[in-house]
Amino acid sequence: RAYIATPTCSPSRSSVVTGQHPARLRIVRHIPGGTQYGFDKFGRTNEHWHVLETDPAQFPSRNWLPLEVTTIAEALKPLGYYSAFMGKWHLGSEPWHPIRQGFDEQRGVSNFGHPRHYYQPFFVEGANPYADTPEGKYLTDRLADDAMDFLTNYRRKEPFLLTVFF
């Protein structure tokens, strides 16, 4: 049994991959993006925290999942697991992507909380992990295809963890 402590994207994802409450992680709301919060057009920032103007408490929230926090992939690695992550990360840009958080591979991960479109081009040019996807392909279908490809072609002897966030 599991539940998410918040219905918001970044906090719920951080909770799923770490097993920790969003308040403990200090990721209490979605990671915003946009130049007003210090993000560039590729969804990157060096600003550790953001505060939303509309937040009456003005409580700072992180812009990425810290590397020192243990993820499920890092916890399973000593047990011999191979871990793959596919889909929406929304827990930081490249320095904090799943591949840096204990996952052995990642597919379809971007720096953004949501795609520009669910049909190609999914994300901005230069930051589209699926730039090779033909026009007309639906993003959810591409992610499902990748998950099926992983399951069909997994030939390692170790057990695996496959995390897919649509």
Q: Using an 8 Å Cβ cutoff, are 86 and 106 in contact?
A: yes
* Cβ pair 53, 59 in contact under 8 A: no
Q: Which segment of 32-46, 58-72, 91-105 scores lowest on mean pLDDT?
A: 32-46
- How does pLDDT run across 11-57, given as a tens digit for each residue? 999 999 999 999 999 999 999 988 888 999 999 999 999 998 888 88
CA–centroid distance for 66 within its chain:
13
- In angstroms, rounded to a whole number, what is the distance separating the alpha carbons of residues 67 and 71? 9
At CA 111, angle to CA 17 and CA 36, rounded to 5? Answer: 115
Percent of all residues in the chain with a pLDDT value above 70, rounded to a whole number: 99
Which residue shows structure tokens 């007309």?
136
pLDDT at 52: 87
Compute the residue count for the chain.
166
Q: How many helices (H) and strands (E) does the chain have?
A: 4, 5
Q: What is the DSSP letter of 129?
A: T
- For the segment 112-117, the average pLDDT, to the nearest whole number, is 91
Report yes or no: 21 and 5 within 8 Å, Cβ to Cβ.
yes
Amino acid at 36: Q
pTM, 2 dp? 0.93
Confidence at residue 143, expressed as pLDDT on a 0 to 100 scale: 97
